[in-house]
Structure formats: C-alpha cells, structure tokens
Amino acid sequence: MPDAGADEALEAAMETKPLLREDAQKLMSKVFWSIALIACSAALITYNKYLIHPTRFPYPVVLVYLHMVGGSFLSWILLLICPGLFPALTDTEKKVGVSARFLTRRVLPVGLLFTTSLVLSNTAYQYASVAFLQMVKQSNVIIVFVFSLMLGLEKFRVRMALVLLCVMAATTLTVRGEVNFSLTGFLVQLSCNFAESAKVVLQGVLLAGAGRKLDPLSFVALVSPMCACCLGGILLLQPRVHALSWIAMPAWDTLHACSFLLAGNVLCAFALNLVIANYLKHGSPLAFLLTNLVKDAMIVIVSTATFGDHVSLQQKCAFSAQLTFIAIWSWMKANPDLFDRQGFLGGLLGTFRTTSAAHEA
C-alpha cells in the first residue's frame, strides 16, 4: 500500500520547485539590471568626459542637442516597435492625457531644467575630474530637501536635518581635499546641482498623481523633441545675437571626424534610459538606493583608473562618509514614523530587520 505521507511530501516538493525557479529568475533579473544600470551610468559619464576633451569635441550644448535629437528618433521608433515599454502613452490604465497645455505647462519646464543640468554637467567635465565632480554631486540631496521645504513638500525633522548637515560636512571635506581644485568646475557643477534638484522637485509637483505620471521612456519621448527644438533655436540664434564660446558651433570637419564617437555616445545615452526603465520594473526602491550608491562609488573608481584622477586620502574618507550618511537619510525618509517611535539607532535596526524579512519572504 503506498505511503500517503511520502506522496504528499513528493507533491509538495514538486510544487516548490517552480516557485524556487521563479524566485531565482526574479533575483537574476534584479542583479542583471542593477549591473546594467551601474555599467551604463559609469560608461556614459566616462564617455562624456573623454568626448568633451578640448582636442575632440568640446561643445557641451551641441552634445546635449544630439542626445535630444537621437533620443527623440530612437524613442519614437521604439514606441512603434515595442509600445508596451511606454505605459504612460499606450496603457489604457496608466495612459497620460497628452495635450498642448500638459506639454507646455507641465512637461516642458521639467524638460528644460533637465536639459540645463545635462549641459552644465558636460561643461563641468572641461574643468574638473570626474571623481571630484561626482563627490560634489552628492550635495543634491541637501538642495532637494531645501527646495522641498520651501514648497511645503517636506516636513522639517531635526534628526534628518542633522544627517544632512553631516552630508554637507563630508562634501566640504571632499572639496577641501581636492589637489587640482578648479573654482570654475566647482561652480559649474554646483549650478548643475541646483538645476537637477529643481528638476526633481518640479517633477514631483507637476508630474505626480493620477493621470500625470510619466515613465522614463515616455518622458524621453515627450521631452526630447521639445528640448531639441529649444537647443536648436539657441544654437542658430546665438551667433547673431552674442557669440558665446561655450555655445559655439563645431565646424563640419569636426563633426565628420567625431561622427562615430558621437553616434556611440548618443546610443549610450539612450541605452541608459532603456536600462533605467527596465530596472524600475524589477527593482525595489531600497534596491534602487543601494544600486545608486554602488554606482556613485564605481564611477569614482572607474574615473581614477581611466583618467588617472588623483583622489586624496581625505577625499576617500569623506566620500565614504557621504555615501553612508545619504543611505541613512534615505532610510529615515522612507520610514519617518519608525525613526520617530524608536529613535535613531532603533530606527536603523528596525529598517535592517524589515529589509531582511522582505528578502526572506
């Protein structure tokens, strides 16, 4: 007579195998897209730094213009081939009502700030090292918090403010520890930080809520054509109004000589948008935070290896402190009630327990 207990155990094992296989596939997807995000981000920044060199293509505005033109062309081709990648434009449940009013009053302001931050970021590469600029970028979290407080989007908490003061102190140490300090590069990057932070806050105000939320690829498909037109107009009109060296137009010979490099750069920029869109489908907010921290560290490591950027011991310690305090601030922002109830250390322990339980589940 067959053993009923053995049969039940066998059935349970058979049912468990597909679940384990599915969990393994999900984990592999998360790991793959995390690695892809880190690799594409580091590759694009390194590529931009290499390309913007005075002996190659020192035209930051033209470079961003090409990104916008290429992003428009590639995103609309992808929209025709794979409409499912653009839920805000094709999904009946998530579709955004695209009108002239929506584009000009909500999308365009965010897009212009986004374009400004890209231009300033590429300009900064002409004056300072990638490693130093990446350290200065960490101050974005402070600027976003201040802007959010000014607009009433954030509630002031002393504990969070103290953590951000620690981020500011660590950022100051990275600046003071820079051996080849460039005031121009620092100020350009700081301006980029303000533009990027304003874009993040404005995006939360103008493009949040039901019927207005744009996924990354839909955002690129809508913003790129408008920003390309604006940048194209600036490039055409500025020589007639007032010639500015940093908005200079390259000669056709330069464009032809760098054509393959520029095409590769445009593809790399679009690939990053594609990776971000897929990453957000598979990764959790906490995983996104950790991936960004690893990405920032990898960019500094790659820049020192590729361009020989010198990073002092003071900068290494301060940069590590920056990443640590930004991680703590992000956890506090994600679980404010937990930290209010249990205090600083209790909140950190509670966050770790919650994270461990989520991974075990």
| Amino acid present at 143 | I
pTM: 0.82
The domain locations on the chain are 45-360
d(CA 173, CA 166): 11
Identify the CA nearest to 189 among candidates 303, 316, 60: 60
Q: Profile the chain (361 residues) by mean pLDDT over runs of 10 residues.
A: 54 54 70 86 91 90 92 93 88 82 87 91 91 91 90 83 91 90 93 92 74 80 89 77 66 89 94 83 67 85 84 90 87 76 71 55 48
- Here the tokens at position 303 are 């820049």
Q: Can you give the pLDDT at residue 78?
A: 92
Q: Can you give the pLDDT at residue 268?
A: 94
d(CA 188, CA 122): 10
* Other CB atoms within 10 A of residue 230 CB: 16
| Amino acid present at 322 | Q
DSSP annotation string for 332-358: HHH-HHHHHHHHHHHHHHHHHHHHHHH
d(CA 19, CA 11): 13
d(CA 330, CA 142): 12
